[in-house]
A and B are shown apart, each in its own frame.
Chain A
């Protein structure tokens, strides 16, 4: 990836994070007997009542076909509201709290699932929930982005902040840091 332009590199990193999210193993409960599956050389029994571990993308397919149910509970609007509260309460980079694992991807999936349900159910509560989730997500992004931008001015803050950032945010911070560094170097006379 060394020869990639910084912008393309960021795009690629974000894409990789998304792929990693879709490949992560999740536990599902089989709710209907089906013929066994073979995915990537691996044999998967689909026997009603058993709990198995499959990649997330496969879990989604099995769930949409009515074959399985997710074992772990998905993210909810309350979870997003909690993150919103803590993000907006942080006054300094030191007070910023790490996000729950896969927060951005989960929140995106949650909003997408709400959109699907709204199309099917035409429920105003769902519409309101979706708007709220979207608004909270935007505000969380704006607030955290502000902290990331502030940290660029001081390498010590950056070091402290890096452990609290989600992979998507780390990719952006890294990209911005390198871009600014490149820009600075292009403005200064060469050092010998």
Chain B
């Protein structure tokens, strides 16, 4: 067995085979058990062919061997693989014989190389990279040992394996220069026999820098990673992963210049990060500061005041944003049903009411925040896309913003300006918290457990108080109803308020440095991250009772008058629970108290009174949001439908004339503009048709 030398400190000779064998045989963890002997036994029992080695263990056992592994991974991993085969052959020879090659996979290297710093100096070395998986190709099969058939006139046909024993095929499969059986080189024909060759699973993925690591104003960097054998399909687009692999190089396929090469990684091990916002590092000192902050009885007020301090007022919206940043507690029931914990917030406001600023601030302090605007986002960009690589022609599945912000916050500005077909794409992400795609033969479901904070302008330029919310904003009710909280920002002149706002804005411009958030944004980010990671508040009996009473009371008001509007539905009940949980999380408390439930109810009431109010009846009507039409309007529409039916049966021509409908509707107090609107909508929905000019009949 060839001994390798390490260039670390002094030139030392290491017998890798012997040292690695010794490592597996004798390494004991703190409990005294032989960790890797046990792992190999487990590997045999589970029918696996990879042994996962913690780099730290190897380093503690023999730091020279561990360093050599980083410097010359190909040789060390090859010999380590042989050692594993040897050990398996001793333990379970039957199993060992069935596996051609065992893999030693190394996890948790002490240093992560930033994707941006990956250069040729790392070529051929073992590195660890972290990022988001943005693209994957379907799994393919790669030949590692080819079987050729060589036929000559003199000697007939014979088969042989290529390349010879101990070597594997690289990226390019080349015809053997000579036949190893007959020695003939140019004479005869060589034919590849793919069915008889040895193949392994192969997949190409693209790892991209995490959005929070990209320097401002720069494009995120990415690198291709090749996964083989057991590693394929071990992560999905949108997953945050850490990869240990060897840096390789291959010709740049775009450039014709042969001297230009691309780096890529041949993966050795992949680890999918738990979705607990690991990218925000919280040190022991940070934890101390976070805990100290949580002890402050005014912590919630301080957090809310720290959200966009340069923006005057909007306390309730800032509170809603703060609650959305913390989020409720996601739950998974025994039967696998997932109940979202994310709180979606929509801000509808007149121009110049600082909506965008609030959104940008929210995305900045969210531990995993992405900011995008309606005009600059497409359905594919928001959810997922199947794209074709120009150079290789391969199809890739690429994750969009909502998938990339999985576990974090997506701030979508100008949501009303989005094209309808793009906007519907976020339906599934908002409620089911997944993104499904079935294009170009790629069928996938990606996680998008993302909080959506969106903002939009009113349809008519300014918010018209005499119209309903659905009339005022260019958003389908299917999306509106998915928001837990909707706030309306109306720009109404008010001398007292205007003076205060003017003073605030002038102060911001005059003494910018004086506008400081109550809590430093970096600490607040860590605080939010800490709460999202570790705090899982549970509802106390008292809080549950309060929410239950509120819900029942609101429903009772509706049930007393069966013709009256429905004030609240189960969707708002779930939203109330989420808001109460988020309120408890803000103070890092493990229980949802009465105070939290009260705060949630207060916010919900504000939201219902501002957005869910039927402007005609002056009562709260959740149908304004859930269906876009208040109960009073629904009743009128039903009546118009009945009038058309009546007139149709009364008339000889078998249809109802518009004038007649309007006259009869007016006698019942229904205005003719609503009749016209109803007819337009009934025709659009295919309920009625125009039988003759100005005469309508019901589609049967």
Point out the residue from A72, A85, A129 that lies within 8 Å of B59, measured CB to CB. Answer: A85
Is B288 part of the contact surface with A, judged by Cβ < 8 Å? Answer: yes
Chain A residue nearest in CB terms to B111: A86
Given contacts A72-B284, A101-B285, A125-B28, contact A85 B111 (CB under 8 A): yes
Docked complex: B356-409 residues within 8 A CB-CB of A: none
Contacts of B284 in A (CB 8 A): 72
- The answer to whether B60 and A81 have CB atoms under 8 Å apart is yes
Cβ-defined contact, A88 with B32, below 8 A: no
CA–CA, A81 and B30, complex, Å:
15
Residues on B with beta carbons closer than 8 Å to the beta carbon of A27: 288
* Interchain CA distance A77-B60 in the complex, whole Å: 8
A153 at interface (Cβ–Cβ under 8 A)? no
Per the bound structure, the CA–CA distance linking A123 and B32 in Å amounts to 10
A65 interfacial contact with B, CB 8 Å: no
Contacts of B32 on A, CB cut-off 8 Å?
Answer: 123, 125
Nearest A residue to B57, CB-CB: A78
Pick the contact of A125: B30, B59, B66 (CB < 8 A): B30
- Closest chain-A Cβ to B360's Cβ sits at a distance in Å of 32
- Chain B: interface residue total (CB-CB under 8 A): 16
CA distance A85 to B288 in the complex (A): 28
- Answer whether A82 and B110 are a contact pair too, CB < 8 Å, given A125-B32, A132-B60: yes
Select which of B9, B30, B110, B285 is within 8 A of A85 by beta carbon.
Answer: B110
**Interface pair B111/A81, CB less than 8 Å apart:** no
Enumerate chain A residues within 8 angstroms of B8, measured Cβ to Cβ: 88
Residue among B28, B67, B284, B285 having the largest count of chain A Cβ atoms under 10 Å: B284
Cα–Cα distance between A68 and B32 once the two chains are bound (Å): 27
B residues 23-74 touching A (CB-CB < 8 Å): 28, 30, 32, 56, 59-60, 63, 66-67
Per-position binary interface string of chain A over residues 68-79, scored 1 when its CB falls under 8 Å from any chain B CB and 0 otherwise? 000010000110
CB-contacts of A71-118 with B (<8 A): 72, 77-78, 81-82, 84-86, 88-89, 101
Query: How many Å lie between the Cα of A72 and that of B111 in the bound state?
Result: 23
Q: In the complex, A85 Cα to B66 Cα: how many Å?
A: 10
Instruction: Decide: B285 and A78 in contact? CB cutoff 8 A.
Output: no
Q: How far is the CA of A84 from the CA of B60 in the complex (A)?
A: 10
Q: Which residues from chain A contact B59 at a C-beta distance below 8 Å? A: 81, 84-85
CB distance from A79 to the nearest CB of B (A): 10
CA distance in complex: A81, B63 (Å): 9
Report yes or no: A84 in contact with B63, Cβ–Cβ below 8 A: yes
Q: In chain A, what residue has the closest Cβ to B60?
A: A81
Q: If A86-B111, A89-B111 touch, does A81 touch B28 (CB 8 Å cutoff)?
A: no
Q: Which residues of A contact B110 (CB under 8 A)?
A: 81-82, 85-86
Q: A93: shortest Cβ distance to chain B, in Å?
A: 18
Q: Give chain A residues whose Cβ lies under 8 Å from the Cβ of B66.
A: 85
Question: Considering the chains assembled together, what is the distance between the CA atoms of A88 and B30 in angstroms?
Answer: 25
How far, in Å, is A58 (CB) from chain B's closest CB? 17
Question: Chain B's nearest CB lies how many Å from the CB of A99?
Answer: 13
Nearest Cβ on chain A to B295's Cβ, whole angstroms: 11
On chain B, the residues within 8 Å of A77 by CB distance are: 60
Output the least CB separation between A121 and chain B (Å).
11
CB of A190, distance to nearest CB on chain B (Å): 45
Interface centre among A27, A78, A89, A125 (most CB of B within 10 A): A78
- In the complex, what residues of B have CB within 8 A of residue A88's CB? 8-9, 63, 67
Q: Which residues of A contact B67 (CB under 8 A)?
A: 88
Q: Which of A2-41 contact B (CB under 8 A)?
A: 27
B56→A81 contact, CB < 8 A = yes
Question: What is the bound-complex CA distance between A27 and B287, given in angstroms?
Answer: 11
Contacts of A123 in B (CB 8 A): 32
Q: Could you say which residues of chain A place their CB within 8 Å of the CB of B60? A: 77-78, 81, 132
Query: Which A residue's beta carbon lies closest to that of B9?
Result: A88
Query: How near does chain A come to B109, taking the closest CB pair, in angstroms?
Result: 9
| Identity of the chain B residue whose Cβ is nearest the Cβ of A100 in the assembled complex | B283
Smallest Cβ-Cβ distance to B66: which chain A residue: A85
A28 to B63 alpha-carbon distance, docked (Å): 35
A27 nearest CB neighbor, chain B only: B288
* Alpha-carbon distance A138/B203, docked complex (angstroms): 45
Bound-complex Cα distance A86 to B56 (A): 12
Q: Is the Cβ of A78 less than 8 Å from the Cβ of B28?
A: no
Q: How far is the CA of A27 from the CA of B67 in the complex (A)?
A: 37
Taken together as a complex, chains A and B put the C-alpha atoms of A78 and B32 apart, in Å, by 16
Q: Of all chain B residues, which has the CB nearest A133?
A: B60
| Distance between Cα atoms of A129 and B28 in the complex (Å) | 11
Neighbouring B residues of A84 by C-beta, 8 Å: 59, 63
Mark each residue of chain B from 338 to 355: 1 if its CB lies under 8 Å from any CB of chain A, else 0: 000000000000000000
Which chain B residues border A85 with CB–CB below 8 Å?
A: 59, 63, 66, 110-111
Residues of A153-183 contacting chain B, CB below 8 A: none
Which chain A residues lie closer than 8 Å to B30 at the CB level?
Answer: 125, 129
- CB nearest to B291 among chain A residues: A27
In the assembly, what is the distance between CA of A89 and CA of B125, in Å?
A: 14
Give B507 Cβ to nearest chain A Cβ, in Å.
36
Q: How far is the CB of A159 from chain B (nearest CB, A)?
A: 23
Residues from chain A with a CB closer than 8 A to the CB of B56 are 78, 81-82
| Chain A nearest Cβ from B219, distance in angstroms | 27
- Rounded to whole Å, the gap between the CB of B691 and the closest CB of chain A is 79
- Sorted from nearest, which 10 A-B pairs have the closest CB atoms? A85-B110, A82-B110, A78-B56, A81-B59, A72-B284, A81-B60, A81-B56, A125-B32, A125-B28, A85-B59
7 A-B contact pairs sorted by A residue (CB < 8 Å): A27-B288, A84-B59, A85-B66, A88-B67, A125-B28, A125-B30, A125-B32
13 A-B pairs besides A123-B32, A129-B30 with CB distance below 8 A are: A72-B284, A77-B60, A81-B59, A81-B110, A84-B59, A85-B63, A85-B110, A86-B111, A88-B8, A88-B63, A101-B285, A125-B28, A125-B32
**Contacts from B to A (Cβ < 8 Å):** 8-9, 28, 30, 32, 56, 59-60, 63, 66-67, 110-111, 284-285, 288
